[in-house]
Amino acid sequence: MDNLFILLLLPVIGALVLSFAKDAKTAKMLALLIALLEFGLTLPFLYQFIPDASIQFEQQFLWIASLGLSFHIGLDGISLPLVLLTNGLMPLIVLTSFGKSFKGSFYALVSFMQFGLLLVFVALDAFSFYIGWEAALIPIYFICALWGDGDRININLKFFVYTFFGSLLMLVALVFLYNQSAEKSLEWAALASLDLDEGTQRWLFWAFFIAFAIKIPVFPFHTWQPNTYTHAPAGGTMLLAGVMLKMGVYGLIRWLMPIAPFGVMAYGQIVMVLCVIGIVYASIIAFKQKDAKRLIAYSSIAHLGLITAGVFSWNLEGLQGSIIQMVNHGLSVVGLFFIIDLIQDRTGTRLIADWGGYAAKAPRLAWLFLLLIMGAIGLPLTNGFIGEFLLLKGIFDYGVWYAVFGGLTLIFGAVYMLRFYKKAMLGPLPEGAEQSSFEDVHGYELVVLLVIGFFVLFLGVWPRAILELSEASVVNLLNQIKF
């Protein structure tokens, strides 16, 4: 089956069905079944995909006839890896919640968010893209606000206001572009071919960039992220870090660069400076974190800064590195947040100072945790290595000093992540702490970590699995848009 619309329809149907599931056990199993079915329906697109520069599996329906707006979707080598990431992570994220008592309403929001994420990645018209952009925001707000901890209402209000402000800027830009189009269209091809003057492209650049930068997040638009990650439920944090942040990077590649190339030429260096500042700043702040989730949150800011810099280098290595590293980061960060949640469930705390010595009691957890740490810091033969290598090569070709400072994320990351692992797994048990009840991973916990661990190694050994999908589309985009 290669009907792309089915991939969008199933999560919506799943959300409706799950909203009526009042029993927690039934809701979990039903959510897992729907997520696995969605993943299974994704595989034919991978098998049938031809790794060239064409748009494949296209479908288009007239949506609002009076305005000439259509619902246009399709896949190419840039969007397919992110669709695979989204649908591949969802069964794992559902599985990570099996130790919780969530009912159908939680899983219904997760399923509807999946619809929004997928629509962003497959939309070939800006109206559909914007619908998906907003559809993904609403459920994650309620997931974090209803099932989070601490001062979750105020924290998530800030998150919502930030992201909604960015959405409004993008909406203004889209309305303007619609009026500039001779055929009154929001099709990607029509917008990319508009002959806009340099002054217009300059303000369009900022309208789109701020919307995407808030979502990524790029310094200084990042301030919503650490608190939101820290106080969201584990599943919400995984959805945010694993997939949702990639919407912003994808938006840069798919929409900002083709529509406002003069704006990119004018302000690209400013963005590169912001990315480098964010990398260094977030890495230094990560050293000081006492809460494990906040440490990974700041680490994520640093890594996404490097990915964004790779996009703005606008060369083959930088773009290829950005695409594969979005996939790699999604896998690694979901695994790391899951491990933090497991340890918190066993010990009642996320404070790193209260952890220590768990490897003796949980050798399987210790080995899998180490594997994820190695992938996160880019050890050769793990998934993070090739992405970071390509990113630094692309940034180096753009400017040597950007690569020098951008490369600090690898050095700093190795230090604070290895120190984090040492304290949690190998350090002495804190005085007065009770370790006897600490259990090793088993059951669904082991399944999740083994699957993620497998792909950490698989993509480290065979990165062509992703790079081959995207290469032709990236080359075609580079040939179309010259700076």
What distance in Å separates the CA atoms of residue 143 and residue 238, rounded to the nearest whole number?
11
The mean pLDDT value for 281-285 works out to: 90
Residue 225 confidence (pLDDT) above 70: yes
DSSP state of 235: H
Residue 365 confidence (pLDDT) above 80: yes
Interstrand relation of 69-75 and 56-64 (parallel, antiparallel or unpaired) = antiparallel
pLDDT band for position 408 (cuts 50, 70, 90) = confident
C-beta atoms surrounding 164 within 10 Å: 13
Collapse the DSSP code of 223 into the 3-class scheme (helix H, G, I; strand E, B; otherwise coil) and give the result.
Answer: coil
Q: Which tokens belong to 342?
A: 């497991």
Give CA separation, 225 vs 133, 156, 299, 376, in Å: 18, 10, 11, 19
Residue 162 confidence (pLDDT) above 90: no
**How many CA atoms does the CB half-sphere of 315 hold within 13 Å?**
13
Residue 2: predicted pLDDT: 58
Buried b (16+ CB within 10 A) or exposed e, 363-384: eebbebbbbbbbbbbbbeebbb
Residue 432: predicted pLDDT: 56
Q: What are the extents of the domains in the chain?
A: 4-480
pLDDT band for position 111 (cuts 50, 70, 90) = very high
Q: pLDDT tens for residues 85-109?
A: 999 999 999 999 988 888 888 999 9
Residue 150: predicted pLDDT: 72
Collapse the DSSP code of 191 into the 3-class scheme (helix H, G, I; strand E, B; otherwise coil) and give the result.
Answer: helix
Residue 219: predicted pLDDT: 87
Residue type, 336: L
Residue 72 confidence (pLDDT) above 70: yes
Q: Which tokens belong to 338?
A: 């899951």
Residue 430 confidence (pLDDT) above 70: no
Residue type, 82: L
Residue 434: predicted pLDDT: 55
Helix (H) or strand (E) holding 74: strand 69-75
Whose CA is closest to 248, among 208, 297, 303, 191?
208
Residue 275 confidence (pLDDT) above 70: yes
The string of DSSP codes covering 146-185 is: HH--SSHHHHHHHHHHHHHHHHHHHHHHHHHHHHHSTT--
Q: pLDDT tens for residues 243-268?
A: 999 999 999 999 999 999 999 999 99
pTM of the predicted model as reported, rounded to 2 decimal places: 0.93
